[in-house]
Amino acid sequence: MKKLFIAFLLLLSANILSAQTINEVIESFMIANGGKEKLTSIKSIQIESVMNMERMGTSATVKFFREKDKLFRVQSSNPMGGDEESFTLITDTAAYTYVPAFNTPMGSMEASLTKFTPEEFAAVNFQKDCDGFFAPLVNYEAKGHTAVLEGDEKVNGVECYKINLKLATGQSITYFISKANYQVRRLQATAPIVLELMGMSAMNRAFRGNRNDETKRERSQRENRKIDIDYEKYKLFNGIPFPTKQTVQLGMMQLELENTSFKINEPINAKWYLVK
């Protein structure tokens, strides 16, 4: 009985130390990225980016809009050509994706506007959080998220803390935070989350809906596949460091997103709330 009691105390002590450690790492992350007060005071973020698709030799412009608890929108030009843009729109009431019609040697697709199901809408609501570039980590406990420090791992030669964050909505995101300067060097998540963060979610949903021969198991395996985004070349905007280069490897194709402009707490044009 005494041994069981001692084992219980050791386990409890280990859990307490683990909780302190994860909170210390995230606290250091917030301090290094502008501080909790500055990050939580952000009401809107607007980012302009250029996406380069290495193997296809094409590029697209991508614009991201976030307004705290109200809006997440990704607007992308068509890398295949054409004037119409695709978008993903998430407001406080509904979410939609739109993909224009296009024709390529690999196939064609008609224009489509898709409304998220209630379950899909609930799952993506966290995207309206704009407490910095890696908003879910900031004040995570108050948002209903849980975090676990899973040890250390190197990312491109950089020693990092590996943190698994389980969102209140059930999804998980793993962050690799540099031990040297507490900047996020890598994010790992399922394909739908990663493609939203890279501005590819509308196209992804369109192709997903077009796969009529795909079984439920195949679809589940594809959507639950983990993908990495690597972050580099941080620069200061409004006193907050933001990564200006993001890289994703999708099979044989590498996508590179160059973030060229950041606007913090500037008014967002009302047109970005419209489903068009």
Q: Are 247 and 47 in contact (CB under 8 A)?
A: no
Question: From CA 61, how far away is CA 257, in angstroms rounded?
Answer: 9
What is the block-wise mean pLDDT of the chain (276 residues), using blocks of 10 residues? 43 44 95 96 96 75 95 86 84 93 65 92 93 97 96 96 96 96 96 85 59 55 80 94 93 87 96 94
Supply the pLDDT for residue 80: 61
Question: Can you spell out the DSSP letters for 40-56?
Answer: HT--EEEEEEEEEETTT
Question: From CA 53, how far away is CA 268, in angstroms rounded?
Answer: 28
Range of the domain at 13: 2-273
pLDDT digits (tens, 9 = 90+) for 210-239: 445 555 555 555 567 899 999 999 999 999
Supply the pLDDT for residue 216: 58
Supply the pLDDT for residue 217: 56
Question: From CA 262, how far away is CA 25, in angstroms rounded?
Answer: 26
| CATH number for the domain that contains residue 214 | 2.50.20.10
Which residues lie closer than 8 Å to 138 by C-beta, 6 or more apart? 30, 36, 39, 40, 131, 132
Q: In total, how many domains does the chain have?
A: 1
**Terminal-to-terminal C-alpha distance of the chain:** 68
